[in-house]
């Protein structure tokens, strides 16, 4: 059994990918250029994924994304379209949205009829303000990462800064409504301020800054803080997050180098806090994944580079324990 802490399923669907197809058929009809797809819903099931965290990810306006949002209304529209996509997949019996630990327990006990999806908002700009949080929780959002780059709520990747007043209000409301904080993408200043407020915390997709510089990755102190709060950290299968590489690099990186991130985390906080957060469909394709990972079904090969006693936990049981006790 695999559990993946981070996939951008609906974002890909809104980019025109039909994720209901087997991967070969998706690739044959893929409208996304320059990124060889590695993820589809049948591919996840064939690989043994029982649950994943599925994002609502609104893409901001920028050089590489002229169609992205430039205000809250634009971000909200993107997230609502993605939410609708998850609901259509659920209506078709392809996925099952999981909103509570009880639903996770029932899902994991039941047959392998659909992939469980925990809704995770990556970048909080679709949320107007703290008073708008219940709108999203009522629709199933259980985890929120306030940042991606900078948002109205927080400093983020390559955009340093603390929580904004809106961000402090949002994290307080998350704590009060039992919505988990995803620490991935938070700049250090925002990270420490958010943890001080005391929400439940995980890092759905974040490698180690001890091995790759930059504020996208967790320092040792951050990893310890996530683990001390009972959280789990998901490992990202993107080459330039495994070894320092320029952004466009397609140099092959051995899969075993990702295991170094896993072992480093384990040395700090123990294997029970280390898991998968592949992000395999997060704006990159097989060109930028580790050698030997051409498609999602290759993900389990990663486990061979880990100590035998750590494999089940990293594959899925560490996320399963968190989901069944803390979601
Ligand atoms: Zn991300």
Q: Where are the domains of the chain?
A: 2-326
pLDDT of residue 63: 65
Length of the chain: 327
Percent of the chain with pLDDT over 90: 94
pLDDT > 70? residue 74? yes
Per-residue pLDDT tens over the stretch 5-18: 999 999 999 999 99
CA 278 to centroid of ligand 1, rounded, Å: 10
d(Cα 192, Cα 171) in Å, to the nearest integer?
12
Per-residue pLDDT reduced to its tens digit, 150-205: 999 999 999 999 999 999 999 999 999 999 999 999 999 999 999 999 999 999 99
If you measure from the C-alpha of residue 148 to the centroid of ligand 1, how many angstroms do you get, rounded to a whole number? 7
- Classify 249 as helix, strand or coil: coil
Q: What is the pLDDT of residue 65?
A: 77
**What top-level class would CATH report for the domain 2-326?**
alpha beta
Instruction: Encode pLDDT of 209-243 as tens digits.
Output: 999 999 999 999 999 999 999 999 999 999 999 99
Ligand 1 geometric centre to CA of 283 (Å): 9
Determine the distance separating the centroid of ligand 1 and the alpha carbon of 205, expressed in angstroms.
7
313 C-alpha to center of ligand 1: Å? 22
- pLDDT in the model for residue 262: 98
- pTM strictly above 0.85: yes
Q: How confident is the model at residue 258 (pLDDT cuts 50, 70, 90)?
A: very high
pLDDT the model gives residue 64: 74
Copy the structure tokens of residue 39: 């993820």
Dist. CA 105 → ligand 1 center (Å):
27
Q: Which residues of 155-193 are buried (b: 16+ CB within 10 A; e: fewer)?
A: bbbebeebbbebbbbbbbbbbeeebbbbbbbbbbebbeb
**Gap from CA of 110 to ligand 1 centroid (Å):** 30
Write out the two tokens for 253: 């990186």
With tokens 């709108």, the residue in question is 135
Q: Using one digit for the tens of pLDDT, what is the confidence trace for 270-316?
A: 999 999 999 999 999 999 999 999 999 999 999 999 999 999 999 99
**Alpha carbon distance 185, 172 (integer Å):** 19
């Amino acid at each position: 059994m695999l559990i993946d802490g981070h996939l951008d399923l609906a974002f890909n669907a809104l980019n025109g990918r039909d994720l209901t197809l087997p991967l070969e058929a998706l690739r044959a009809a893929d409208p996304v250029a320059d990124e060889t797809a590695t993820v589809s819903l049948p591919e996840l099931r064939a690989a043994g994924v029982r649950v994943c965290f599925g994002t609502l990810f609104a893409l901001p306006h920028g050089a590489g994304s002229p169609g992205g949002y430039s205000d809250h209304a634009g971000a909200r529209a993107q997230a609502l379209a993605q939410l609708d996509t998850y609901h259509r997949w659920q209506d078709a019996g392809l996925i099952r949205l999981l909103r509570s630990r009880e639903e996770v327990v029932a899902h994991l006990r039941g047959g392998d009829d659909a992939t469980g999806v925990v809704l995770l908002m990556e970048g909080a700009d679709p949320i107007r303000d703290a008073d708008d949080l219940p709108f999203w929780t009522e629709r199933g959002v259980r985890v929120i990462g306030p940042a991606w780059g900078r948002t109205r709520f927080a400093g983020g990747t390559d955009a340093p800064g603390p929580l904004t007043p809106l961000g402090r209000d949002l994290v307080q409301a998350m704590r009060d409504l039992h919505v988990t904080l995803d620490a991935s993408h938070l700049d250090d200043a925002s990270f420490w301020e958010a943890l001080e407020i005391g929400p439940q915390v995980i890092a759905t997709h974040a490698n180690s800054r001890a091995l790759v510089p930059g504020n996208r990755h967790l320092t040792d102190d951050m990893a310890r803080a996530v683990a001390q709060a009972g959280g789990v950290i998901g490992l990202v299968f993107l080459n330039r997050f495994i070894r320092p590489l320029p952004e466009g690099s397609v140099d092959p990186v051995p899969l075993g180098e990702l295991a170094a991130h896993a072992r480093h985390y384990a040395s700090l906080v123990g294997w029970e806090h280390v898991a998968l957060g592949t992000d395999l469909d997060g704006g990159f394709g097989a060109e930028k994944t580790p050698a030997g990972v051409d498609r999602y079904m290759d993900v389990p090969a990663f486990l061979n580079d880990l100590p035998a006693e750590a494999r089940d936990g990293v594959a899925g049981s560490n996320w399963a324990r968190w989901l069944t006790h803390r979601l």
